[in-house]
Amino acid sequence: MPRKLRLCALVLCIALCVALVPGASASTIILTAVNDEFLPLASSTMPTRRSGEWYVPYSVFRSFSLTAAEQEGGDLLVMQGENNTLTFSVSQGYVYDQNMNSYSQPAYPINGTIYVPVKLVCGVYGLSFSLISGEHQVLRICDENAMLSDSSFVTQSEQEKEDIVEEYIGPPEPPRPVEPEPDPTKPEPVPPEQPIEPAAIRPELIYLTFAGAPNEYSEDLLNTLSMYNRHTTFFLPVEGEWDADLVRAIVGEGHSVGFLVPIERFDETGILTAANERLFEMTGIVTRLISVEGGSGKLTEKQRAAAASGGYRLWDATIVADDQTQSASRVADLMLRSFDGTTATTVLGMHHTRSTNAALTLILRDLRVNHVSTAAITAADTPVHL
């Protein structure tokens, strides 16, 4: 189809869609009055405009002793007065009178009823109509029984009109309660237990490790580890603040401790000595376990040899949980998938975040069902590193 024809077709389609929308807008309220009385106000029977003409449901004209009947399943509407008849074909869009005179204003199916053109019907049956302006317009249709002029009708019925509109609009919606912003620091809740299908293959041994300084989430981790009778290893940052009470609790509950070293500080053996002095003051123990932030893959053989000659045991996590950005269920799902199909010893690295404890709980439930052993790292264990 040529470009101009496609554009014309699009414009025509939009015009037809607009033509089918009842009323001027959802916020426009137009009342209907017959002689000196208002008709009930409802969105489904409100006057509307089509092609510059006003339309109302045909039932409005029954107030003037006109009969109207739908025929042929609602496709044909026949309106009869004392001397005149109008027949509307909704689907064909034609209208004619008893003398077979045709008219150009069709009827439209709107809101489950048939809307007819006000000007045409009034003209055929000797009625008059007017559109009274105001905050809410009034389409008024009259015969010889109307007693009031438009201005008098508006003045005398102002309160009634306001009451009708107020009832139509209804009471204002109460303000929605302001939902409190979720606390981004609150620990993620532990999901309820669900049945777990045993896995075909799981690692025979998993070393659980936690990297970073103990914080407000660490006590929950210790409680969960105690509940499942599991021991793990906490790699403390070699520099920076430690919570002395939490570090003592870690050691007191049988977990092991190591140091987490930035790779750019790895050659500074003095920082390990200083860290061990701090650890000894807090707990009465020292450690020979170390891990490199981001993994030891970039260390040279000389650096590795220097660490070994200093008596330090270098460990890496073989699987690192993204518990700093992912939800607990996502973390647990990814970690458990990584366990599938291998019996090799695995080192799982986690952190101290709001999702860690819930993720740890989900993982430990699975390990319990699959009878997987876990252990805290000791200086006697063969290191696992990248």
Q: Where are the domains of the chain?
A: 28-169, 205-375
Distance CA 202, CA 225 (A): 20
How confident is the prediction for the chain on average, in pLDDT? 90
Angle CA 138–141–145, to nearest 5: 125
pLDDT level of residue 27 (50, 70, 90 thresholds): low
Which CATH number is associated with domain 205-375? 3.20.20.370
The least confident of 67-81, 232-246, 281-295, 351-365 is 67-81
pLDDT value for 20: 38
pLDDT value for 5: 38
pLDDT value for 178: 82
CATH number belonging to the domain at 28-169, selected among 3.40.640.10, 3.30.413.10, 3.30.457.10, 3.10.129.10: 3.30.457.10
Look up residue 327 and give its two tokens: 């939800």
pLDDT value for 183: 82
Q: If you average pLDDT over each of 1-5, 8-12, 169-173, 368-372, which comes out highest? A: 368-372
Chain segment 38-52, per-residue pLDDT in tens: 999 998 889 999 989
pLDDT at 8 over 50: no
Average pLDDT for 256-274: 93
> Model pTM?
0.57
